[in-house]
């Protein structure tokens, strides 16, 4: 008889786990509280535009392709993507505009031309980020650091012997400050801390591996937008006859000794051999398996930042902008002090503008664009979000007007807004934190919640709030860790 697996949540980690296990013969059922799959990787439609709602940068597409290959399918039959020639456009208040070309040589020349930075410094930095990735990826991305059997392999022990090379004893900012002469380049590479909701002035420089993924390995974009990834996985799950129950939240779990045997929904209780949670781990312990000691332990670490996102139907085209754009704050340290110390939004925030209609015909009406306008925001600790939204919107518009030399407010049609409380409500992210715990601190990576429960032998965790972290590659890696652990029956 096939072993039965329940997966709570159909985010990227939940879907990837379902596909892997179903392809190995397990009987898989997915429970999803929302009306569509994808979790944070969602989409919304306004009167004239389509928007991706979650991640917008796609790296390491081979991790998605592997899922289809394991299911015996050709990924090209489900979705297609291409490598971007330009990963991002950076705009500064002094008028400087930097294009992050995918080709490292072209990128180095662009940075040197625009900032005066010697190209040798740029190549040296990118080589260093590649070295860190090569030393740490197998240990931190593709295996469980909480499992001694996976941790103490020859390759991982060899990597640990070279611990000094992974730059764990400096912060990202300290490393970048010592790597570059240009303050603009320091800020450009400091921003990668925000990819996991952290602070460049506190996160270890080890996380400069993120710049390796983007600048050495490349940024990709799917035909149809980022949600095309989730939709392709949905169609694969349908073909594989994986049971997906939409609009059906799990209400609680029923322990029995050292196992979870019961999964309770509004339609009753079902029994499973394995249970995988794709929920935020804090909300999991709060709502499904109340454990005050465990809950206190997961809540204690500092949470990642959240976001304040405006979805704007823009009734004009802006050739000066690309698919991905960053308008930098003039005082980066102050912006992060507001985010993590004061739990507020700085008056001059860094603004990210993602315009999928630059690549996807039909995402906006002809002559217009769809702007996903995001700033970093603190986790929700009870702030007056109505007031913060109003003030932030005013400051964002003022910044866009200064940098682009426009009056953007007259071109804004329909508007939709997501603040941290809305993010928590829609995606079950504790306090709206996008990545669970922050990575602020030398040993933060080791403190992330593990992919398995030590108390219950058939309970597992995947998604951005647990090891190895958030973002498309890390979430897919976490799903693989969980799936392989179940397949080996080691837990």
* Cβ-contact 278, 10 below 8 angstroms: yes
| 173 in the same domain as 91 | yes
3-class SS of residue 454: coil
User: Tokens 């015996």 belong to which residue?
Assistant: 72
CA-wise closest residue to 481 among 467, 471, 472: 467
| 332 in the same domain as 351 | yes
| 204 in the same domain as 167 | yes
| 208 in the same domain as 98 | yes
Q: Write the CB contacts of 360 (distance below 8 Å, at least 6 apart in sequence).
A: 50, 223, 224, 225
Name the domain boundary from 191, 218, 245.
Answer: 218
Examine residue 431 and state whether it is found in any structural domain, yes or no: no
pLDDT of residue 371: 98
| 210 in the same domain as 91 | yes
- DSSP assignment of 141-194, as one string? ISS-TT-HHHHSSHHHHHHHHTGGGG--SSBHHHHHHHH-S-HHHHHHHHGGGG
| 98 in the same domain as 114 | yes
DSSP state of 292: H
User: Tokens 């925030």 belong to which residue?
Assistant: 349
Examine residue 57 and state whether it is found in any structural domain, yes or no: no
Examine residue 66 and state whether it is found in any structural domain, yes or no: no
3-class SS of residue 320: coil
Tens of pLDDT along the chain (491 residues)? 789 999 999 999 999 999 999 999 999 999 999 999 999 999 999 989 999 998 999 999 999 999 999 999 999 999 999 999 999 999 999 999 999 999 999 999 999 999 999 999 999 999 999 999 998 887 777 666 656 665 556 565 566 666 667 788 899 999 999 999 999 999 999 999 999 999 999 999 999 999 999 999 999 999 999 999 999 999 999 999 999 999 999 999 999 999 999 999 999 999 999 999 999 998 999 889 876 556 556 666 789 999 999 999 999 999 999 999 999 999 999 999 999 999 999 999 999 999 999 999 999 999 999 999 999 999 999 999 999 999 999 999 999 999 999 999 999 999 999 999 999 998 889 999 999 888 887 766 667 888 899 899 999 999 999 988 889 999 999 999 999 999 987 44
DSSP state of 471: S
| 253 in the same domain as 154 | no
| 213 in the same domain as 92 | yes
User: Domain range spanning residue 313?
Assistant: 306-377+381-418
Name the domain boundary from 218, 245, 263.
Answer: 218
How many degrees, rounded to 5, is the angle at CA 332 between CA 327 and CA 336?
Answer: 115
3-class SS of residue 305: coil
| CATH code of the domain covering residue 241 | 3.50.50.60
Residue 165's Cβ-count burial label (10 Å; 0-12, 13-18, 19+) is: middle
Could you give phi then psi for residue 369, rounded to 5 degrees?
A: -140, 160
| 343 in the same domain as 310 | yes
What six digits make up the tokens of 369? 């664009």
* Cβ-contact 476, 16 below 8 angstroms: yes
What six digits make up the tokens of 17? 């786990």
Could you give phi then psi for residue 266, rounded to 5 degrees?
A: -65, -10
Examine residue 277 and state whether it is found in any structural domain, yes or no: yes
Examine residue 469 and state whether it is found in any structural domain, yes or no: yes
| 457 in the same domain as 409 | no
Examine residue 56 and state whether it is found in any structural domain, yes or no: no
Could you give phi then psi for residue 421, rounded to 5 degrees?
A: -60, -40
Q: Write the CB contacts of 336 (distance below 8 Å, at least 6 apart in sequence).
A: 199, 200, 201
pLDDT of residue 439: 82
Between the two ends of the chain, the Cα-to-Cα distance in Å is 20
Examine residue 160 and state whether it is found in any structural domain, yes or no: yes
What total number of domains does the chain contain? 3
| 243 in the same domain as 263 | yes
Q: Is the dihedral of CA 468, 166, 88, 411 positive or negative?
A: positive
Name the domain boundary from 164, 190, 218.
Answer: 218
Compute the distance between CA of residue 296 and CA of residue 285 in angstroms, rounded to an integer: 10
Q: Write the CB contacts of 21 (distance below 8 Å, at least 6 apart in sequence).
A: 5, 28, 483, 486, 487
- Its pTM stands at 0.94
| 90 in the same domain as 206 | yes
pLDDT of residue 491: 43
Examine residue 467 and state whether it is found in any structural domain, yes or no: yes
């Amino acid at each position: 008889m096939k072993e039965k697996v329940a997966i709570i949540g159909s985010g990227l980690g939940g879907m990837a786990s379902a596909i892997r296990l179903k392809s190995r013969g397990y009987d898989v059922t997915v429970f999803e509280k929302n009306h569509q799959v994808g979790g944070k990787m969602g989409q919304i439609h306004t009167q004239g535009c389509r928007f991706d709602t979650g991640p917008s940068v796609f790296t390491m597409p081979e991790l998605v392709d592997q899922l289809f290959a394991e299911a015996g399918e050709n990924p090209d039959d489900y979705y297609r993507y291409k490598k971007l020639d330009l990963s991002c456009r950076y705009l500064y208040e002094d008028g400087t505009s930097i294009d992050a070309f995918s080709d490292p040589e072209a990128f180095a020349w662009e940075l040197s031309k625009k900032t005066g930075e010697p190209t040798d410094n740029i190549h040296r930095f990118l080589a260093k980020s590649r070295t860190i990735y090569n030393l740490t990826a197998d240990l931190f991305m593709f295996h469980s650091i909480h499992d001694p059997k996976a941790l103490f392999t020859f390759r991982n022990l060899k990597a640990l012997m070279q611990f000094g090379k992974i730059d764990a004893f400096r912060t990202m900012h300290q490393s970048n400050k010592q790597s570059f002469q240009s303050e603009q380049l320091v800020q450009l590479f400091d921003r990668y801390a925000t990819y996991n909701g952290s602070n460049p002035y506190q996160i270890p420089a080890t996380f400069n591996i993120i710049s390796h993924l983007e600048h050495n390995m490349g940024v990709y974009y799917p035909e149809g937008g980022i949600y095309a990834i989730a939709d392709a996985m949905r169609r694969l799950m349908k073909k594989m006859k994986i049971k997906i129950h939409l609009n059906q939240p799990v209400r609680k779990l029923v322990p029995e000794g050292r196992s979870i045997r019961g999964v309770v929904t509004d339609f009753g209780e079902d029994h499973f051999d394995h249970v995988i949670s794709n929920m935020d781990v804090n909300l999991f312990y709060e709502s499904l398996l109340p454990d005050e000691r465990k809950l206190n332990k997961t809540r204690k670490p500092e949470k990642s930042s959240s976001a304040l996102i405006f979805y704007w139907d823009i009734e004009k085209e802006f050739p000066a902008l690309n698919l991905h754009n960053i308008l930098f704050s003039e005082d980066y340290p102050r912006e992060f002090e507001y985010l993590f110390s004061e739990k507020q939004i700085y008056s001059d925030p860094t603004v990210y503008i993602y315009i999928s209609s630059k690549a996807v015909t039909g995402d906006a009406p002809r002559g217009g664009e769809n702007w996903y306008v995001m700033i970093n925001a603190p986790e929700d600790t009870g702030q007056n979000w109505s007031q913060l939204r109003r003030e932030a919107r005013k400051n964002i518009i003022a910044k866009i007007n200064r940098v682009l030399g426009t009056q953007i407010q007259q071109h804004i049609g329909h508007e939709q807004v997501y603040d941290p409380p809305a993010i928590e409500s829609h995606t079950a992210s504790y306090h709206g934190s996008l990545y669970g715990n922050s990575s602020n601190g030398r040993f933060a990576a080791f403190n992330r919640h593990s992919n398995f429960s030590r108390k219950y032998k058939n309970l597992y965790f995947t998604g951005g709030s647990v090891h190895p972290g958030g973002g498309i590659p890390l979430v897919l890696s976490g799903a693989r860790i969980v799936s392989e652990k179940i397949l080996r029956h080691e837990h």
